[in-house]
Amino acid sequence: MIDPISRNSAETVTVNEAVGRQTPDPSGPSFSEIVKKGSAMILKAAGGAASFLPDGGLLAATMRGAAEGLEAGNPAASWEGTGTAAGAELAGAAAGTQGSPGGGLTDLERLQQEGFDMNVELLRIQESLSKENRTFSTISNVLKARHETTKTAINNIR
């Protein structure tokens, strides 16, 4: 069983003045600096890999801009594409003037149109299959009713 805390306790809490740091300051980089450098390295590697993807110029420019922003100490600007060398490259890619193969939003629009066309074609095929399924179900139901009628007539004759 747990003993209740008595209110008559003579124990008190004392607060001491703050004492200076007892361990030496770390001589290496801070944790935030390590995270920034590591993130920038990962973004640079991803940007390099993205440039090998079909129409990956826009993604590569975004990754490079983000990496430059992190290295400059301004991660918000890096994602907006402002104040970095890759910002102009990113804006050029968005406008379709990028020197990468295919370049920019025209490719994005083309891919969206192809996706839309494929969806329309799939819907057409789905409707065709649905119509065929209804036709077979109707024929099956008619043949089943004909069979049952014939079977009932034969059983009535016996």
User: Cα(106)–Cα(116) distance, rounded to whole angstroms?
Assistant: 15
pLDDT of residue 112: 86
DSSP 7: T
CB-side neighbour CA atoms (13 Å) of 110: 8
Pair 48, 60: CB distance under 8 Å: yes
What is the reported pLDDT for 128?
A: 92
When pLDDT is averaged across residues 37-61 and rounded to a whole number, the result is: 78
* Highest-confidence segment of 1-15, 50-64, 122-136: 122-136
Judged by DSSP in three states, 73 sits in: coil
Decide which of 13 and 97 is more confident.
13
| CA–CA dist 38, 57 (Å, integer) | 23
Per-residue pLDDT for 72 more than 80?
no
Q: What is residue 93's DSSP assignment?
A: H
Structure tokens at 67: 């990496």
Are 81 and 56 in contact by the 8 Å Cβ rule? The answer is no
Domain boundaries, the chain: 30-102, 104-158
Could you tell me the two tokens for 73?
């100490």
**pLDDT tens-digit series, residues 82-132:** 444 444 444 444 444 444 454 556 878 888 888 889 999 999 999 999 999
The region of weakest confidence among 4-13, 21-30, 85-94, 149-158 is 85-94
User: In this structure, is the dihedral angle defined by the CA atoms of residues 34, 37, 42 and 43, taken in order, positive or negative?
Assistant: positive
The CA distance from 55 to 124, in Å, is: 30
